[in-house]
């Protein structure tokens, strides 16, 4: 009996060691895979590759693209909102930042169309939506999308609210 128990004990340790080795290997593979995925999705190495590859022109273009473009001011909007309970007004002043100099865009020719599109867009909104920060962020994105569909030369890079009053 003692010999049978002694003979069975070593294989149990060997099986336990194999399990630990397999778990350790699986852990290393998971960590390596997770690290590789993070590196890939965060764009690791891409900037170094472009600099090392001699794409300095693209790097210079990216540096210049972060500079703000000309900011064009639209006349203030005063309009009724789409609230059903009460009559609500919105007075908003909007400035549009262009992605290139004004002379190379068709902005001036499109101002009446831009104002019309923004009047229709803003008057279709309810005051509850526009009062929240997320609502303002969402309407800013909608304004940018609408104006960019109207312009054929140049685009709007940013939309700024300089006055925003709901009454």
Please tell me the distance from the alpha carbon of residue 91 to that of residue 121, in angstroms, as a whole number.
Answer: 14
Predicted confidence (pLDDT) per residue in 52-66, tens digit: 444 444 444 444 456
Q: How confident is the model at residue 52, as a pLDDT?
A: 45
Q: What is the pLDDT of residue 69?
A: 87
* Residue with the larger pLDDT of the pair 122 and 38: 122
> How many residues are listed for the chain in this entry?
167
Question: Is 0.85 topped by the overall pTM?
Answer: no
Residue 123: in which H helix or E strand, if any? Answer: helix 107-123
Specify the range with the lowest mean pLDDT, choosing from 11-15, 25-29, 74-78, 149-153: 11-15
State the pLDDT at residue 88: 94
pLDDT of residue 115: 97
Who wins on pLDDT, 16 or 122?
122
Q: Poorest-confidence range of 3-7, 125-129, 151-155?
A: 3-7
Using pLDDT thresholds of 50, 70 and 90, give the confidence band for residue 48: very low
- Supply the pLDDT for residue 30: 73
Strand ranges (E), the chain: 71-73, 77-80, 89-98, 156-166
Q: What DSSP state is assigned to residue 106?
A: -
Tens digits of residue pLDDT in 103-147: 999 999 999 999 999 999 999 999 999 999 999 999 999 999 999
């Amino acid at each position: 009996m003692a010999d049978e128990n002694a003979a069975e004990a070593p294989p149990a340790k060997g099986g336990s060691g194999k399990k630990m080795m397999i778990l350790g290997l699986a852990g290393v593979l998971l960590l390596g895979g997770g690290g590789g995925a993070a590196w890939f999705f965060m764009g690791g190495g891409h900037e170094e590759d472009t600099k090392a590859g001699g794409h300095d022109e693209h790097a210079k273009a990216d540096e210049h693209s972060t500079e703000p473009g000309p900011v064009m001011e639209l006349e203030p909007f005063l309009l009724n909102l789409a609230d059903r309970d009460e009559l609500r007004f919105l007075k908003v002043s909007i400035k549009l930042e262009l992605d290139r100099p004004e002379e190379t865009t068709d902005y001036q020719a499109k101002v009446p169309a831009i104002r019309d599109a923004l009047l229709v867009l803003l008057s279709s909104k309810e005051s509850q939506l526009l009062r929240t920060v997320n609502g303002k962020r969402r309407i800013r994105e909608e304004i940018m999308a609408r104006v960019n569909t109207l312009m054929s030369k140049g685009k709007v890079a940013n939309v700024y609210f300089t006055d925003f009053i709901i009454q």
